[in-house]
Amino acid sequence: MSAFSAEWLDLREPVDHRSRNKALAHALARHFEGWRPLRVVDLGCGTGSNLRATAPLLGPEQHWTLVDVDAALLEAAAARLTAWADGCEAGADTLVLCKGPKRIHVQFRRADLAGDLDAALGPPADLVTAAALFDLVSPAFMTRFAATLATRKSAFYTVLTYDGDQRWTPPHAADPRMLEAFHRHQGRDKGFGSAAGPAAADLLRERFAAAHYRVQEADSAWRLEPEDAGLIADLARGFAAAVAETGAIDALTLADWRDVVRTGALVGHADTLALPPLRP
């Protein structure tokens, strides 16, 4: 079990997909144009949202391995991907999805990324990808991760890494103090040691640049509007609960903050594309 429910991931999926940076997605598609077959590993796959958004950018024959520590989410991923595809064949341990002209082979691997990283990654892949994962990991994990990918010469594409910017509509006088407390909570150990939280995108850029990767980073903020009311309310609830756990804000202020009906929010994210060094 992880802290992420399939229902929460379902709620955020449409917003995640529309928020991804389009220029970076095109750069990824350009890099892999003509590659066939393409081997992809998705880390912390949840219910498979990243595959549903990324596979349309890639070639006609794709082999994905979806990795997560949470067996229930891996099961939910298989069910949602089967429903998403135009057609599907189920093998012993593989799904073969047909989506438009693409054939997408999918395997599932239950693994803890904080443990044996090489085993979690499996054989070298052309592309290692993730969504909404890297703010949970520690700076030390990022160092190990970038070095491991460099050895394997895999490209890396990760989207929706939280970058620390958070603004609510309407604003509340306690927002700045609440955000500070939230960031303290974000730095807690999420299974990898003290988490990078809002520093994650900067650290990823640094670590991959140190491994001589060509790194591009671009904005993928959630810009939530009144029609995203369900997600805004859930987000505010989770945010206030995290702040409450820190004990940094008094109960009256917290109650007053919770009482506000919010009609919008901006949550800053970054997408990162890191391509291995060109061969001399």
List of residues contacting ligand SAM (CB under 6 A)? 2, 4, 9, 16, 44-46, 49-50, 68-70, 73, 112-114, 131-133, 136, 191
Return the structure tokens found at 14. Answer: 């449409």
Which residue's CB is nearer to ligand SAM, number 69 or number 88?
A: 69
Which residue's CB is nearer to ligand SAM, number 133 or number 224?
A: 133
- The distance of closest approach from Cβ of residue 59 to ligand SAM in the complex, given in angstroms and rounded to an integer, is 22
- The distance of closest approach from Cβ of residue 65 to ligand SAM in the complex, given in angstroms and rounded to an integer, is 12
Q: How many separate helices (H) and strands (E) can be counted in the chain?
A: 10, 10
Our CA angle for 269, 272, 274, nearest 5°, is: 170
Which residue's CB is nearer to ligand SAM, number 45 or number 146?
A: 45
Identity of the residue numbered 201: A
- The distance of closest approach from Cβ of residue 135 to ligand SAM in the complex, given in angstroms and rounded to an integer, is 9
216 to 38, 167, 170, 179, 275: CA distances (angstroms)? 21, 25, 33, 27, 9
End-to-end CA distance of the chain: 45
Identity of the residue numbered 194: S
- The distance of closest approach from Cβ of residue 212 to ligand SAM in the complex, given in angstroms and rounded to an integer, is 27
Give the list of residues 6+ apart from residue 244 with CB closer than 8 angstroms, or none. Answer: 254
Which residue's CB is nearer to ligand SAM, number 88 or number 114?
A: 114
Asked if 122 and 41 count as a contact pair (C-beta separation under 8 A), the reply is yes
Which residue's CB is nearer to ligand SAM, number 197 or number 257?
A: 197
- The distance of closest approach from Cβ of residue 6 to ligand SAM in the complex, given in angstroms and rounded to an integer, is 9
Return the structure tokens found at 11. Answer: 């709620």
Which residue's CB is nearer to ligand SAM, number 126 or number 271?
A: 271
Query: What number of other Cβ atoms are within 10 A of residue 1's Cβ?
Result: 9
Ramachandran sector of residue 62 (left: φ over 0; alpha: ψ -120 to 50; beta: rest): beta
- The distance of closest approach from Cβ of residue 142 to ligand SAM in the complex, given in angstroms and rounded to an integer, is 14
